[in-house]
Amino acid sequence: MKTLKILTVSSLFTLCLVLMSQAAFAQAEAGAKIRGDAWNGGRVQTYQRHAQDRSQMLYQYAQPQSPVSKEEAKELVGGIKKDLTEADKALAKLKADHAKEPDIVKQIALIEKRHAKAREVCGMAEEHCLKEHGDHVAIADCCTDMWTEIDAAQVETNKLLKMLKIDKLPVPKKATDKKAATDKKADK
């Protein structure tokens, strides 16, 4: 009888350990997914802001009082294209992670459509910049269109992040007591 009690107690103990480890594994996996979504969502926003800032710079350079050199224009246009490409890569990862969620996929498609339009207008701006005496009005109009498309993409991205329940990243803060922060890490 005593042996049966010991076996029963040890079996229950083993079962508890297995269940706890499965719960911990599921929790860790969910945390990794959330971190991945937050990471890729942040990347999309960052590259959108960069592309928008570059289009704004190109707009300012394209004004008749401060003409842009072909080299500067190529650098800015190349940067805009690169930023949009990187934002699309992050969106592709989000799309792959949420392929079975039609609302998420639809929202990502809206953002990709805005990026495609901005990239198209960027190509037109590049053509105008490479002309002998770049058409300042056309370049400025292209920059305005790019900025507007990227701004609309940012609005759609914010909606996507809300759908994914991703909060705005907190502002970085310095640890007031580095020893205490190190001690907290060691405790975990």
Specify the pLDDT at position 111.
96
DSSP 63: S
CB contact at 8 A, 58 and 138: no
Q: Which of 82-86, 90-94, 161-165, 179-183 is predicted least confidently?
A: 179-183
Is it the case that residue 186 has pLDDT exceeding 70? Answer: no
What's the half-sphere exposure (Cβ side, CA atoms, 13 Å) at 125? Answer: 34
| pLDDT reading at 22 higher than 70 | no
Listed in sequence order, the DSSP H helices in 62-130 are 70-97, 102-130
Can you give the pLDDT at residue 187? 58
Instruction: Kindly report the backbone phi and psi dihedral angles of residue 116, in degrees, each rounded to the nearest multiple of 5, phi listed first.
Output: -60, -40
Predicted pLDDT of residue 182: 60
Over range 61-82, report the average pLDDT. Answer: 80
**For 129-147, what is the mean pLDDT?**
84
| 32 pLDDT more than 70 | no
Q: Which of 159, 174, 142 is nearest to 41 (CA)?
A: 159
d(CA 143, CA 31): 40
Determine the 3-state secondary structure of 164 from DSSP: coil
**More reliable by pLDDT, 27 or 160:** 160
| The CATH number of the domain covering residues in 29-166 | 1.20.120.660
Share of the chain above pLDDT 70, in %: 71
